[in-house]
Amino acid sequence: MADERSVNPQAPTETLPLQPYGSVSDQIAMIPLHYPLRRRWLIGLAASALFTLLLVVAIGYLFYAGVGIWGINSPVFWGLAIANYVWWIGLGNAGTLISALLLLLSQQWRNSLNRFAEAMTLFAVFCAAMFPIIHLGRPWFFYWLLPYPNVMALWPQFRSPLVWDVFANVIYLLVSIIFFYIGLIPDLATVRDKARGRLGQVFFGVLSLGWRGSAAHWQRWRRTYRICAALAVPLVVSVHSGVAMLFSVGQLAGWQTTIFPPYFVMGAMFSGFGVVAMIAVVLRHTFRLDSLVTTRHLDLLAKVLLASGLITSYGYIMDAFTAWYSGDPFERSTLIDRFTGAYAWSYWSAVILNFVVLQGLWFEAVRRNPVLLFLIGASVTTGMWFERYMLVVTTLYHDFLPSSWGWYVATFWDWSLLAGTIGLFFFLFFLFVRFLPMISMFEVKEVLREERVEARNARSQ
């Protein structure tokens, strides 16, 4: 561990310990080519495949029987499926922010994190994108939400936040895939060149699109990559604002509030960084990548987590304040119900897991401790799930007329979708770490190069 010194924002050179370029390639490119932990990987893959199978069964039965297999009812027409959707799409936020926003801001430390963060985003958005479709009463007509030309001259209803959600989601997913792939190309070429087996050579050769690393390639690549990044950043905002509008366009107490769009963007970032922190800690430990993902990376992640968590908690406070300040009896009763009602456990779980635990990150020792950071990341990820659950259920189960008040209990099939999508996420992630370079080699080398130059400059002075 090279980085025991105090953090100096003026000195990005301290991000990585100095090491030969070749060792970076060897460390990373060797993982897909000669996977080190085959046994553990297989066990992990099998376990996650089992849950993915559960997902397949859950969706199959859902399509066969209808959404009545869930716990939803009148008045709680939306349940776990929507909560899961909002949660997954929120997790996806971090990858795009790390990759695109920090790229545009030239924050070099991102280079060790962006690849797996992007992969995480991709898989999370994929999990999220399933929900709007399987959530439909008639999923086979999902394409009616898309504005396609048809003989009936029917368009979607453009005032609906769902339509914009669909647009934002689809574009976000596409841009995420493209961005991820473009960023992968130079590394794919590296792996291709290192591959000994015919299969690997062909596989990575096809994927790397004939990358030779010429100056012209680099020049075009760099332009494309930055354009994609510039596209992705506003999409992050639009996606989560859209999700927020899903709630705040309704007139229900606890939903109709103007703070929701920024609140959701920040909440998404918060939960996303929680997941990235967890993944970073796990990958770093498993593949002994301490020299590439350093404690400084963990420290930076923790700081972003803390900052976004504090903004999210501001959202909580303002949400409660405006509910009280509005004087609206329904808003107030929903607020009080969240504090003390039948689903108060979801509210307080969210508050404790998100904000109380988070306060540990004020201490540098905690930020730099991988185990503690992992636990806090897990706490935030879980806490944000509770928040999504709370937002969906507490508003719906007690709305305006007491005669229509109900309750909500998720069924086995609700839970199996959550477990199944988590399984799918892990399944995809296992495939990712096995077959693709999980850290961006060329970008790490770029950082190393800069650090060397700086070191040389420092020596020559």
Partner 1 sequence: MTSFPPADRPPPNDPTTGTAPDLAALRRRLESGGGRRFWRSLEDLAETDDFRRFVEAEFPAVLELSETSRRTFLRLMAAPMMLGGLAACGDMPDEKALPYVNQPEMLVPGKPLYFATAALFEGYAQPVLAETHVGRPTRLEGNPDHPMIGAGSTDAFAQASILELYDPDRSRAITFLGRIATWDAFQGVVVALRERLGENSGGDFRILTETVTSPTLRRQLDDLQRAFPRARVHSFEPVGVALRHQGTRRAFGRPLDVHYRLENAAVVVSLEDDIFGPGPSQVRHAAQWSQRRRDHQQAGNLTRLHVAESTPTLTGALAGATLSVASQRLPVLLAALAGKLGEAGEGTPAAALTPRELSWVSTAADELAAHRGSGLLAVGAHLPAEAQARAHAINHALGNAGATVVYSDPVGLAATDDAGALPALAEAMAAGEVETLVILGANPVYTAPADLDFANRLDRVGLRIHAGIYYDETASNCHWHIPLTHPLESWSDARAVDGTASILQPTVKPLFGGTSVHELLATLLGRLNATAYELVRETWDARLGGEEAGWRQVLSDGFVANSAVATETPAPQVAAEPPATDATDATDAGAASGLEAVFRPDPCVWDGRLGNVAWLQELPKPLTKLTWENVLAVSARLAEELGLGTGDEAELTVNDRSVRGPVWIMPGQAERTVTVFLGYGRSRAGRVGNDAGYNAYAVRTAAEPWTVQDAALRRTGERLRLATTQNHATMAGGDFVRTVSVAEARTAHPDEPPLPTFYPQWDDPKYAWAMSIDLDLCIGCNACVLACQAENNIPVVGKEQVEAGREMHWIRVDRYYEGGLDQPDRTLFQPLPCMHCEKAPCEVGCPVNATVHGPEGLNEMVYNRCVGTRTCASYCPYKVRRFNFFEFGATDSPSIQAQRNPNVTVRARGVMEKCTYCVQRISAARIEAQKQGRAIRDGEVVTACQSACPTQAIVFGNQADPDSAVSRRQQSPRRYALLRELNTRPRTTYQARILNDASDEEA
Q: In terms of CB distance, is 41 or 142 closer to partner 1?
A: 142
Taking CB under 8 A as the criterion, the residue among 11, 65, 105, 317 binding partner 1 is 65
Stretch that binds partner 1, among 131-139, 372-380, 427-435, 447-455 (CB under 8 A): 131-139
Stretch that binds partner 1, among 130-138, 196-204, 262-270, 315-323 (CB under 8 A): 130-138
12: contact with partner 1 by CB under 8 A: no
54: contact with partner 1 by CB under 8 A: no
Minimum CB–partner distance for residue 247 and partner 1 (Å) = 9
In the region spanning residues 156 to 175, those forming contacts with partner 1, defined by CB under 8 A, are: 156-157, 159-163, 166
CA 391 to chain centre: 19
Give the closest residue to 86 by CA, choosing from 338, 265, 354: 265
Minimum CB–partner distance for residue 110 and partner 1 (Å) = 36
Minimum CB–partner distance for residue 100 and partner 1 (Å) = 28
Residue owning tokens 């936020």: 93
Q: In terms of CB distance, is 77 or 218 closer to partner 1?
A: 77
Q: Tokens at residue 355, please?
A: 């904000």
Neighbours of 358 (CB within 10 A): 24
In the region spanning residues 73 to 112, those forming contacts with partner 1, defined by CB under 8 A, are: 73-78
Taking CB under 8 A as the criterion, the residue among 4, 141, 149, 458 binding partner 1 is 141
60: contact with partner 1 by CB under 8 A: no
Task: Kindly report the length of the chain.
Answer: 461
In the region spanning residues 315 to 334, those forming contacts with partner 1, defined by CB under 8 A, are: 329, 333
Q: In terms of CB distance, is 118 or 165 closer to partner 1?
A: 165
- Cα–Cα distance measured from residue 236 to residue 271, given in angstroms and rounded to the nearest whole number: 14
Q: In terms of CB distance, is 51 or 260 closer to partner 1?
A: 260
59: contact with partner 1 by CB under 8 A: no
341: contact with partner 1 by CB under 8 A: no
- CA quadruple 337, 338, 341, 342: dihedral, nearest 10: 140
Residues that bind partner 1 (CB under 8 A): 65-68, 71-78, 135-139, 141-142, 144-145, 154-157, 159-163, 166, 246, 249-252, 329, 333, 396, 399-407
